[in-house]
Amino acid sequence: TAVATAARRGDAGVLAALLEAGAEAEAPTHEHANPPLFWAAAGDHAACLRLLLNRGVSASCRNAQQDTALLWACQQGAAEAAELLLRASTDELHVANNQRMTPLICAASSGRQDVVDLLLAQRPPPALDAADAHGRTALHFAAASSAEIVESLLAAGANWRIRDAAGLAPLGEAQRQGKAAAAAALQRAWERAERGLAEEEVAASPPPSTDTPRKQRGRKGCMGDRGGGKGGEAAPRADA
């Protein structure tokens, strides 16, 4: 439609004229039923997006795949559009499409730190460990795109142990994609967890014995018969 074409091109003047002339603001296009709002969002065309939202177009509208405009904005790294859509409605922050892709997963796949930060700042925040139809979380996608996003997701509490349908943890995905910085950030998460387990083992150990020195000599140390503690979960191999 003419409205969708203007929204896709970011031509706010033409879009405004069409809407004033009575053109339908929500008329979908093509077989996937993508409304004009989606095209404005994907192109980060803020002026067009405002025109459509001010005309009463719902930020919650869906296409045939159950995408939302926010999903398209996040997939394309369109930060201003994502912010405008969240101001209109935060409900879509927690919505997934037919492939179970969420806005956070889309933002992580785009490699745009600013969009990820925008989503993480929302209250309530998005589900960090939601997985797509292939079992991949936002951290899996970040592992293939951006070490900085990996760090942000880890700091927010994302679970780096989750494996996708192919058996890969985010660390394995980073290694498979040759993302050394992302792999290093995830490896540090494994190492921190192992240190934490070791510290818990020490904290849980019994206090020093008050027996006489003679009896003490007949005992093993608190770690002596345990092989060095629980040991923690080993970091995955490159094919993990």
Residue 175, judged by CB atoms within 10 A of its CB (0-12, 13-18, 19+), counts as buried
Whole-number pLDDT of residue 238? 43
Give the model's pLDDT for residue 201: 55
Residue 144's contacts (CB-CB under 8 Å, 6 or more residues apart) are: 109, 173, 174, 177, 179, 182
Query: pLDDT at position 226, please?
Result: 36
Q: What amino acid is encoded at 35 in this protein?
A: P
Q: Which tens digits make up the pLDDT trace of 49-92?
A: 999 999 999 999 999 999 999 999 999 999 999 999 999 999 99
pTM to 2 decimal places: 0.79
**pLDDT single digits (tens) 173-228:** 999 999 999 999 999 998 988 776 655 555 555 655 444 444 444 433 333 333 44
